Amino acid sequence: MRINVTRSSMPSFEEYAEAIRPLWESAWLTNMGPYHEELAKRLGEYLKVPNVSLFVNGHMALEMTLQAMELSGEVITTPFTFASTTHAIVRNGLEPVFCDIDREKFTMDASKIEELITDRTCAIVPVHVYGCVCDVEEIERIAKRHGLKVIYDSAHAFGVEYKGRGIGTFGDASMFSFHATKVYNTIEGGAVTTDDAGLIDSLRKLKDFGIKDEETVDGIGANAKMNEFCAAMGLCNLRHVDEEIGKRRLVSERYRQHLGSIRGLQILPKQDGVRENYAYFPVVIDEKEFGSSRQDVADKLKENDIYVRKYFYPLTSRMQCYGDRFAAWHTPVADYVSERVLTLPMSASLTTDDVDRICGMILSLREGRAD
């Protein structure tokens, strides 16, 4: 049976069908309908945040947040992320400045931020990579000292908490992705969380053509609203998300049992004070120590209908679309990890037998080597 790197969590067909039945009666399919409004409220409660603005996807949520803040100049960010993070910065006419990453948890190395700050720096966009929490306290200190905005890319961090606080309460704003591949999905969707009511109002204008009411258009906006079908899926999935995270925890623990003490394999550390969501299970493979390369592992698994991802490779600063624009950036740790990382299959539907089989294949490439 084919095992993909992820599998979308979904409610039963009957539960979703019952949820969307009223849409045939009301014919209210989009434009901030009742499901949209209810989902925003429920997510605010679940994520422990004061304000939630829903979007058609996470990318538009991030791009429009940067636009709403009317930023100009340079933005310090990480190259070890999905293309969306860097694209959102560049598409706003801002210049990304790439900070290297922490060698253990792969988030932005906060100790290297201040050396990158110039008189043109306007913001920091860190990423909670794989659901690992950034050094939020140090980033906050740096931002306050230099008068910078902080917008977190929390696409991987749905449901994550740090010291009892929802992860979306840190910084000036946080973006969440509700793409089908995420821990929590609305089929396609995203959100911005913030304690700034003015930002929420600006985002409302940007995502709905600048429309204030039936006769007033007081801003210039686009169309990035979440529709009612996606909101209904979000409401259904929200009922089950804690159960889904619990199942992911069991998968993660099984991987750790097999791979946690193997020379040449690096897995994520557990973070103190963090409520995890087990979004991904990345492994960094040192070929010299392990005896086989990342590609060897990927090929072995693919031969057995198991599919992994080099997530994230290449770094966004090395992507073909940017040519040599960012060639001068020196991020040796990010380069090292990007060239060796694989994310293994992770979903609530994965069984311990599946994990045992996957790990058995990986470890078979190392047979005969002593730890």
Residue with tokens 């400045």, as numbered in its chain: 97
Instruction: Confirm whether 265 is domain-assigned.
Output: yes
CATH of the domain at 307: 3.90.1150.10
Same domain flag for 321 and 357? yes
- Residue 197: CB partners within 8 Å, gap ≥ 6? 51
The angle that helices 352-364 and 294-303 make with each other, rounded to 10 degrees, is 130
Instruction: Confirm whether 371 is domain-assigned.
Output: no
State the sign of the Cα–Cα–Cα–Cα dihedral 313, 314, 319, 320. Answer: negative
Same domain flag for 225 and 282? no
Q: How many of the other CB atoms lie within 10 Å of CB of 58?
A: 26
Question: 319-331 burial, b for 16+ CB within 10 Å, e for fewer?
Answer: eeebeeebeebeb
Number of alpha helices (DSSP H) and beta strands (DSSP E) in the chain: 11, 15
Same domain flag for 351 and 270? yes
Instruction: Confirm whether 355 is domain-assigned.
Output: yes
Same domain flag for 220 and 296? no
3-state helix, strand, coil in the chain (%, to 5): 40, 15, 40
The domain of 245 spans: 241-364
Same domain flag for 157 and 73? yes
Instruction: Confirm whether 5 is domain-assigned.
Output: no
Contact (Cβ atoms closer than 8 angstroms) between residue 363 and residue 258: yes
Cα angle for residues 155, 206, 59 (degrees, 5° grid): 20
pLDDT of residue 103: 97
Closest-CA residue to 280 (of 326, 304, 311, 258): 311
What's the CA gap between 19 and 243, in Å, rounded? 20
CATH of the domain at 230: 3.40.640.10
Same domain flag for 308 and 232? no
pLDDT in tens, the chain (371 residues): 899 999 999 999 999 999 999 999 999 999 999 999 999 999 999 999 999 999 999 999 999 999 999 999 999 999 999 999 999 999 999 999 999 999 999 999 999 999 999 999 999 999 999 999 999 999 999 999 999 999 999 999 999 999 999 999 999 999 999 999 999 999 999 999 999 999 999 999 999 999 988 899 999 999 999 999 999 999 999 999 999 999 999 999 999 999 999 999 999 999 999 999 999 999 999 999 999 999 999 999 999 999 999 999 999 999 999 999 999 899 999 999 999 999 999 999 999 999 999 999 999 998 656 55
What's the CA gap between 308 and 311, in Å, rounded? 9
Please give the tally of structural domains in the chain: 2
Contact (Cβ atoms closer than 8 angstroms) between residue 234 and residue 158: no
Cα angle for residues 300, 278, 288 (degrees, 5° grid): 40
pLDDT of residue 1: 86
Closest-CA residue to 184 (of 253, 231, 127): 231
Instruction: Confirm whether 21 is domain-assigned.
Output: yes
Looking at 189, 219, 236, which one is the last position of a domain? Answer: 236
Same domain flag for 227 and 248? no
Residue with tokens 């992507």, as numbered in its chain: 319
Same domain flag for 222 and 115? yes
Q: pTM higher than 0.85, yes or no?
A: yes
Same domain flag for 95 and 232? yes
Same domain flag for 171 and 245? no
Instruction: Confirm whether 327 is domain-assigned.
Output: yes
Same domain flag for 84 and 183? yes
Burial of 228 (0-12, 13-18, 19+ CB in 10 A): buried
pLDDT of residue 303: 98
Question: 182-191 burial, b for 16+ CB within 10 Å, e for fewer?
Answer: bbbbbbbbbb
Looking at 236, 255, 286, which one is the last position of a domain? Answer: 236
Same domain flag for 232 and 251? no
Half-sphere exposure of 127 (CA within 13 A, CB side): 28
Instruction: Confirm whether 6 is domain-assigned.
Output: no
Looking at 209, 236, 263, which one is the last position of a domain? Answer: 236
Instruction: Confirm whether 1 is domain-assigned.
Output: no
CA distances from 177 to 91, 181, 187, 350, 356 (A): 18, 9, 10, 22, 30
